[in-house]
Each structure stands twice: as C-alpha cells, then as structure tokens.
Structure 1
C-alpha cells in the first residue's frame, strides 16, 4: 500500500473529541493512519518515496460510515411511492400485493449473480458520496436458501469492491405468506437452523429483528436475538418505528449494539439505551419515502446520553436513497441537529453502531486510512448544499478510490 501524505488540508475534522485542525496534514502508511497534525509540525523530508495528495484547502473528514441498509434485493416499488403520495393507505397497498412481500417475491426469483450485479452499483454510489464502510442486511429472502444467498452476495461485495461491507442477518424481517398460519414454527426454524448455519459459515456479524406489531413480538424478538447471541452474532434491533412496542427496552436488556428507528421511543427507553451503551440509529429518509412530515427526534435520546447515528436505511420501499450526506441535511433542517452532531452521527457514532469505533470513524493514528476530501473548507457546506456532492476525492486505506471533477464527473 505504501506511504500517502495528504497536505494542504483547510480544515481537518478528526472526530476525536471534536478536535478540528486548520492547515493540517495526514500521513497514511500501509493503509493505516500514522500521523495527524498541523502542517507547521510536519516535515515532508522525513517521508521518502511517498505519494502526496493536495487537498486544495478543502475539508477532510474520516470516511463516512453507513450503518443501516437493506442493500441487496431485486425489483422496485415506485408505484407504492406514488400511491402513498396520493393518499392510498398502507393496508390497501399491501392488499394489492405490495410492501415487503413484493420485494421478497422478486428477490427469491433472482439468482445470486443477478443480486450481486444489482448491488455493485449501489455500493459504488455510496462510495462516490464518501462512504467507505457499509452495513448490509439480509431480510428479503425470508426462507433458508434465499437468506443464505443474500449473505453470500454481501460477502462477495466485500471482496469485489473497495468498500468494507459489514453483514447483518435479518431473517426476522417479516413473516412470509407461507408461514403466517404457523409463525411459531417459523421462529423455531430461524433460531434452530438459520442462525446456527449463518454463524457456522461466518456470513454475518450481527443478528437483527424487526420488532413491531406487524412483524415480530417482543418475546419472539428476544428469543431470536438470544439465539443469535448464543451463536456469536451481536444483537441489533428495529425498534419503535411505527409505535412504542417495547423493542428499545429489549435492546437495552440484551445490550444490543444499536437500536434503529426509535421514532416512538420514550424517556424510559432513552434512559435504558443510554445505560446499556446502545447506539440510537435514526433514519430520516423514511419520512420522505413514506410521504409523512414526522421526522425522528434526537433530542430525547441526546438528553439521556444516547449516542446518535444517522443512516439512509436504503431499501426499495420506505427509504430509497443512497445519499448519506443528504440525511445530514434532513437532520439539520428537520431534526434540530448541529453540523458537528451530524458529522459525529455519520462517522464515529455510526462506527459505534457497527462496533467498529476502534478502527474507523476517526482520523487518528492506528485507525484505517479512510478519508474524504471535500471542496471548500466549510464543515456545514456538504449539508448546506443539499442533494448534490462536494466530494473531491475518497481515500480508502491509503489509496485514492474516487476522484470527482468540479463539474461532477466521477472516476472510480
């Protein structure tokens, strides 16, 4: 990998205790950050045979971390977006064969190679926005073979692209049509056969469950997540998205790495999550795709001491965006978050939501050499100019993997 020096950094957001360094330099050796500091303390003569990147006075941050996606699926549901926009209720959309069931059908019919080919450009779209680590859930197979196929695709993406793909098993995403008459047997199968196989084949780091009245109960979710823990899979949970059902308290009880959505979380939930050290992942893109004006409120969680991460929740139904910085714009405009809170939420806190806070999400010696160079040094700029991209270069483990020209052209 060699030696890379990034100089002429207008402003470096290290994300280490909110330390910002003006006129900074970063040195990356063999893919790992070796030195960080002001240019006045840097001697280039000490680094022979290095590659030098000029940041042109721009803002530099850690590589962004996308901590909640449903990346791998087939088919689309644009018709449902229009239906919601024109007032058609979800129950009617489901009656027409829409919702998760529609994506499950299309995904089951796709081959592993087809799913891989569909997912690759999605990964590169994230990368072009500065995202160097992406979590990818299964959950659109909902039978044993299909779920294994989705996790196989995630493993292939990790090897085939520059982005680090972190896999999550979400076999408990919904009850498929064929299991509705005997959901207990479906839960048994997830716990007794699917999870042990995922663990034995090392196909996932996390076990997730959709704990809602329309999906899995608290008791079912507890059993599934405990089975995951027994097999060595760390718990995550979709909680309190549609109503307060007890998922956040379950997350705290089990010491989940993250609890995601939390739109209807209470003060009691926030206190429990903070005490458990569980990261709260908020997903503002859902409000847009679901045609609802209500965005999640971070203030309740922050007041209790919960770390807040932001994510796109990229999926074909309820949040159809690959633009993580745009979630920062939404968080500032509609959720009352400051720019620094947003940067934390898409770097170090998002890394914590993947239990990677000791490896990515900060510009600090010993961390992976993942950086984003933005045009202009204003730390508010990437969120202020929303919807586009101010990314100039993306560096992954000491190698430049994305270059954007001023007119928006991208070379990967």
Structure 2
C-alpha cells in the first residue's frame, strides 16, 4: 500500500486508535514472555503494516483473516477468545518494537534488534510499563499511549459459587483410607477457570476474577460444587429389563434359585444375543445420559451378557461406539467369565478354554477392553479357574478386576491380591484373611451396597471394618438389569451410611478419589485441582452431609464434563 496524502495517514491513525480502544478493555497485560511461530494470515493487513511502518517490514505479520474483518475494536473483542495473546502483542509491540531503538517512556529500552527474523521466538518485555510512549520517526505523529496494567488470562469458562466447594484436594495422595477419607478439602466462595477441558486455576473467587476472564461465566449461586462422581462397577450393556425376577424374589426365591431356573445372568444373555450392535449402542447411549443426569461423569462399563466370541465383541464394540461420541467417559472391561452359558453347561472346561484361547485374544486384538473381570463365586467360577482366566487376560494387556466373595467366602479377595487386581468387588462375605490381604496390597475394595440391599441379603460387606483398617474403600452402583438397576451414586452413599456406618465424607471420598484410583485415573480426575480434568458437578445441597441425607430425589443441578456444561437440571435452590 502506498500512502497518498494526509487522508490515508488519518485513516491509519484511526485504525490504531480503534486497536487501542479495544485493548484498553484488557484490564491486565502482565506477562509477555514469548510468541512462537509465524502467524499466518491475510495479505491486506500485511500490506497495511508495511505501509504504516516501512522501516520495519518484519512487523508485516500475516494475521488471521477472520480476526481482521472490520478491524475495529468490536471485531477484536469478538475474537479475543482465540487470539488474546495476539492482542497483547499488538497492544505493547505493534509500534514500540517496530522502531529500532524505540524507547519506553521511563527509559527502559526495547531490544534494539526488534523481533527475531520471520516473527519466530518473539521475546517480549515481561513487565511492561503502565504507559508507553511510541517514537515513530517515519511519521509526523509521534505519540500514542496504550494504558496497560497486569495480564488478564483467558479461560473458556469461569465457574463461581458462594457455597461449599468439596475439592477432595488434601495432603494425602490417593487412594485414601482410614481417617483421611473424612477430609474433603472443603472451601467456600471459590471459583475455577477452565481451559481446554482442564482446571487451569482454582481458588478464592476474588483472586480468580482478578486474574481471569472468559466468554462464559457459570454462576452457581450458593450451590455445592464438587468433582463428578465416578462409578467403578457397572453392567450397562443389556437388551431387556428383568422386573419379573424382582417379583420372584419378593415371593421368596433366592438369587441362586432364580439363576438355576434360567433367570439371572443367563436370561440377559439370551436377550442380548438377539439384539444388534446398533440397538445395544442406542440403549447404552440413553443409559449413559441417565448417569450424567445423576452427576456421574465416568463409569467402568463391563460386557458379560454375551458369553460368546461374537456377542462379547458386539457388546464391547457398542461401548467403544458410544464412548467415542457421548460425554460420559466409559472404561471398558471384558467380563466373558460372568457365567457359564447354556451351551457349555456340561462342558465348563470347554468354555474356559474358549475364553483363554479365543475370546481374550480377540478382545485384545481390537483393543476393546482396558480390564478383564471374572465372577469368582462357588456357583460360577472357582478361584483356580478364575486365576487361569485372569492370568491369560493379563498376558494380553488386560489387568484384573474381580467379582469376589459376594455370596460366599471363597478366597476371592485373596485371589485378587495374588493376581495384582486393580479391584476386588462386592466382598459381602469377605473373610478376616481377605481383609488383611487387601490391607497389604494395592488392590482397592469396591463395595456395592445397592446390590445387597436390592437382593435383600442377610449379610453385607464389612465396610466400617475395612475403613477402620485403613483400606481405601470405593463405592459403586453395580448397575445391571437384575440385581441393582440404579445409576444413582448418591443413593449408594445413603446405603453406605445406613448399612456400613460411613460418614458422609467417607462416602463422598469413596465415590470420587478412591473410585478414580480403582480405575487407574487418580492423576486425572476425582479431585478439583489445577491440571486435572474439569469434571465438575453442582448440587442443591447446603453441606456435604446433605448429599446422603436426602434420598429419592436428584440434587444435581449442573454437570460439567471436560470443561463443558452438558447437563442442566431444572431445579431451583430449594434446600431448607
């Protein structure tokens, strides 16, 4: 562009004035450390800068055309979310660094060589003065002032609440057992800045608001804020419900009697084999939304209702399909050893060989499961059979989880420890030896109080003893169509408090920090800490104790998954 008289100069000055006006709205410009890489963009602005500052052609950076449409302050503000670092660069260095040897008003000199060649590694003054005088010898006008202060960082979303924040961030590293389970890291009147699905900053609200800005601000009033619930034991892939069995149990039939009569798991197997993968995925997606609505942001998802190579693969593929598109995170577990299918009732060893030699290699070949599980119980798989299956799975890269000691004490907990399992689940009939084995291991006990409640069992897991022994207990729903058709972890917390004698804090820790650890996710989620995944929920609850105190209603009002608001329940703040 070639200047033609004072008119063009005035137009350029007006554009710079618009830039200055827009940038004054950045309340803080504090850290100018480095801008790496060549900024690609539109030729017209390239030429504009060349005409404005012919002595410094390196300033003719190509800026994104989208940013520069209508160059005025409003346009810049609209695109601040993506290019806020670039705005800061423009504010301090558009003209200052463009003039070789340009001086700050307080005598602090810029790098006399200007920017590095080609716009790479632009090392900028980390502490700019509050007012900058720009010396532009190439033009008759020679002063433009940019009022600047300290830097304002940009977040995708700011989350605010005057209510309690249960951060679960404490000096004790996860998983936590004993008295450490009672420390929820509770704060109040805090805020969080979310960037790229992670927690970028967390602290007192005034501090966060003084250092961060965002296009989206979620003000939660006085609601309780905490990490999303994590459910480490579910069976969500099935075709049909089993309400008839519920009635049979109420008429006196036991779980084992129903199973031996063709009900139970075998009933779900027959139904699932009739379903297509697409149907299973559709049903699973709807159930996944139900989990989210109740505040659960991550689940472990088992197969186990196929019990054939084709149908187990079908189930795991359905999990993979839904997990790839649904906000709910699903950690897949292969549970081909859930029951002996009808066609192998007279050939147990044949089915075990099928698992070890065919099904496990096929699952591993497609990378469909992170874990492998076995129902280690007297009427299903013995401890010896379970060990063979789990060792084969481990050899194919799938560490163990174990259904252990649910109905009878068969040494399932000890087996879980022996094979280095991530978790031993159920434990309704665990022995003293089993508790001691867990205490000396890294295997996490996952308790399922909803199952013993729903089956009306006369024995429950010794949850209180486990916590007092220092075990890092986790809680889960055991969501399935037969023995525990609930997705509500708050309901499970209520049952843990009633049946195990847990405190509210112990139940909450079991559904967050310890549940995450049982899935190998302790360094990624389960707490509210800088750098962790932004899985956050808000509840209409005045205190942590209120969560298990109320049952039969959903207190969850907001669910943020990976930094994005995915659930907003229509519920006003109605707690007394």
> Scaled by the length of structure 1, what TM-score is found?
0.95
Say whether the 8 Å CA contact 2:157–2:214 is kept in structure 1: no
- State the distance in 2 between where 1:335 and 1:88 align: 26
- Structure 1: stretches of 5+ with no match in the other structure: none
Q: Which residue of 2 aligns with 1:62?
A: 227
Pick from 12, 21, 28 the counterpart of residue 165 of structure 2: 12
- State the distance in 2 between where 1:83 and 1:279 align: 34
Pick from 253, 257, 262 the counterpart of residue 97 of structure 1: 262
- State the distance in 2 between where 1:407 and 1:374 align: 10
Partner SS for 1:228: helix
Say whether the 8 Å CA contact 2:383–2:415 is kept in structure 1: yes
Partner SS for 1:349: helix
The 5 Å alignment of 1:175-324 reads 175-324=340-489
The 5 Å alignment of 1:302-381 reads 302-381=467-546
RMSD, aligned CA: 1.6
Pick from 26, 34, 47 the counterpart of residue 192 of structure 2: 26
- State the distance in 2 between where 1:273 and 1:287 align: 21
- State the distance in 2 between where 1:326 and 1:407 align: 21
Give 1:16 shift: 1.8
- State the distance in 2 between where 1:167 and 1:297 align: 28
Say whether the 8 Å CA contact 1:332–1:342 is kept in structure 2: yes
Say whether the 8 Å CA contact 1:289–1:317 is kept in structure 2: no
Q: Which residue of 1 aligns with 2:274?
A: 109
- State the distance in 2 between where 1:402 and 1:138 align: 27
Partner SS for 1:67: strand
> Scaled by the length of structure 2, what TM-score is found?
0.69
- State the distance in 1 between where 2:210 and 2:467 align: 45
Give 1:91 shift: 5.0
Distance verdict in 2 for CA 1:43–1:69, change over 3 Å:
closer
Partner SS for 1:395: strand
Say whether the 8 Å CA contact 1:210–1:216 is kept in structure 2: yes
Say whether the 8 Å CA contact 1:6–1:25 is kept in structure 2: yes
Alignment of 1:38 with 2:191, yes or no, is no
Deviations 1:372-412 (A, max 9, x none): 0111331122211111111110001111000011269xxxx
Give 1:27 shift: 1.4
Distance verdict in 2 for CA 1:94–1:235, change over 3 Å:
closer
- State the distance in 2 between where 1:367 and 1:404 align: 25
Deviations 1:277-315 (A, max 9, x none): 111111111123213354322122223322111111011
Deviations 1:335-385 (A, max 9, x none): 100000011111011111111111110001111000001113311222111
Partner SS for 1:142: coil
Q: Which of 84-93 and 135-144 deviates more?
A: 84-93
Say whether the 8 Å CA contact 1:253–1:276 is kept in structure 2: no
More strand by share: 1
- Structure 2: stretches of 5+ with no match in the other structure: 1-80, 82-154, 171-182
Distance verdict in 2 for CA 1:91–1:55, change over 3 Å:
closer
- State the distance in 1 between where 2:571 and 2:376 align: 45
- State the distance in 2 between where 1:9 and 1:165 align: 32
Structure 1 runs, 4 residues or longer, greater than 4 Å off: none
Say whether the 8 Å CA contact 2:157–2:217 is kept in structure 1: yes
Give 1:46 shift: 2.5
Say whether the 8 Å CA contact 2:447–2:474 is kept in structure 1: yes
Partner SS for 1:273: helix
Say whether the 8 Å CA contact 1:58–1:374 is kept in structure 2: yes
Give 1:48 shift: 3.1
Partner SS for 1:24: strand
Say whether the 8 Å CA contact 2:316–2:368 is kept in structure 1: yes
- State the distance in 1 between where 2:418 and 2:460 align: 26
- State the distance in 2 between where 1:344 and 1:16 align: 11
Say whether the 8 Å CA contact 1:107–1:141 is kept in structure 2: yes
Give 1:45 shift: 4.1
Q: Which residue of 1 aligns with 2:6?
A: none
Count of aligned positions: 407
Give 1:92 shift: 4.3
- State the distance in 2 between where 1:66 and 1:116 align: 19
Give 1:58 shift: 1.2
- State the distance in 2 between where 1:8 and 1:182 align: 60
Give 1:276 shift: 1.3
Q: Which residue of 2 aligns with 1:118?
A: 283
- State the distance in 1 between where 2:467 and 2:343 align: 41
Distance verdict in 2 for CA 1:141–1:402, change over 3 Å:
same
